[in-house]
């Protein structure tokens, strides 16, 4: 998987540094599921990288926020791949400290915000990404204060993606597209635009 077309050799070197840090701090911070440690590249890195092509282009003074990023998936991967607008939102102080160390050691352009997503007050949120934060309804309700008419949501969703979409439609109207995940046959990548309250 390291030879994936997603990454240049230069990026692979940075990703290997990141993986080394993950393994170093895993026991202390419980960053990822124990059962996925032996398959970090496919389960976490490639899984995160697959959304890069779905991202809109970066805009001046706009930012991409990774909600509940945890160990840095997908935000750290997107930053290593070249995005310069990534903000990593993580409420855990210890995980946020880990993310800051990754940022420093890998020398990537990103910012780490040690707050709950509900407490973040920033303007011009262009993109919201999330991999394992919450069901769709809760995620949208938690981020609605950041969402504008131009905000795009790109979310990793599991086998309940259809149910989550139908539930969210009861409170919000939006346009969406679903894309097959390349790492999990039951999972989908959900891309949402034009989201607003009401139907």
Judged against a pLDDT cut of 70, whether residue 197 lies above it is answered with yes
Q: Which residue has the tokens 């409420």?
A: 91
pLDDT tens column, 130-159: 998 899 999 999 999 999 999 999 999 999
The model's confidence at residue 30, banded by pLDDT at 50, 70 and 90, is confident
Q: Which residue has the tokens 């940075």?
A: 14
* Rounded mean pLDDT, 40-65: 96
Q: Which long-range contacts (CB under 8 A, 24 or more apart) does 28-33 make?
A: 28/94, 29/94, 29/95, 29/98, 31/70, 31/71, 31/95, 31/98, 32/70, 32/71
Contact 136, 164 (CB under 8 A): yes
* Percent of residues, the chain, with pLDDT higher than 70: 97
The correct CATH number of 9-197 out of 3.10.20.30, 3.40.50.2300, 3.40.50.150, 3.40.50.880 is: 3.40.50.150
Domain ranges of the chain: 9-197
Longest CA pairwise span in the chain (Å): 48
Residues whose CB is less than 8 angstroms from the CB of residue 37 and which lie 6 or more positions away in sequence, other chains included: 23, 26
- What pLDDT score was predicted for residue 199? 58
pLDDT tens column, 9-20: 999 999 999 999
Q: Which residue has the tokens 């780490």?
A: 112
Mean pLDDT score of the chain: 94
- What pLDDT score was predicted for residue 35? 80
* Rounded mean pLDDT, 38-66: 95
User: What torsion, rounded to 10 degrees, do the Cα atoms 118, 122, 125, 127 define?
Assistant: -50
Q: What is the pTM of this model?
A: 0.94
The strand order across the sheet containing 63-67 reads 110-113, 86-89, 63-67, 125-130, 152-157, 188-197, 172-180
* Rounded mean pLDDT, 189-199: 90
Judged against a pLDDT cut of 70, whether residue 1 lies above it is answered with no
């Amino acid at each position: 998987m390291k030879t994936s077309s997603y990454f240049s050799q230069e990026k692979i070197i940075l990703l290997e540094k990141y993986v080394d840090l993950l393994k170093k701090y895993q026991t202390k911070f419980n960053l990822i599921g124990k059962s996925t440690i032996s398959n970090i590249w496919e389960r976490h890195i490639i899984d995160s990288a697959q959304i890069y092509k779905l991202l809109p282009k970066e805009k001046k003074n706009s930012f991409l926020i990774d909600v509940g990023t945890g160990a840095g998936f997908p935000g750290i991967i997107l930053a290593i791949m070249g995005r310069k607008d990534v903000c990593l939102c993580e409420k855990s102080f210890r995980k946020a400290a880990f993310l800051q160390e990754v940022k420093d050691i890998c020398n990537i352009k990103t910012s780490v915000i040690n707050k709950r997503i509900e407490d973040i007050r920033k303007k011009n949120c262009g993109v919201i990404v999330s991999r394992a934060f919450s069901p769709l309804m809760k995620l949208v309700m938690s981020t609605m204060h950041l969402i504008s008419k131009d905000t795009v949501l790109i979310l990793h969703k599991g086998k309940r993606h259809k149910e989550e979409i139908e539930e969210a439609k009861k409170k919000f109207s939006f346009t969406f597209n679903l894309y097959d995940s390349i790492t999990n046959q039951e999972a989908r990548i959900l891309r949402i635009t034009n989201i607003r309250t009401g139907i």
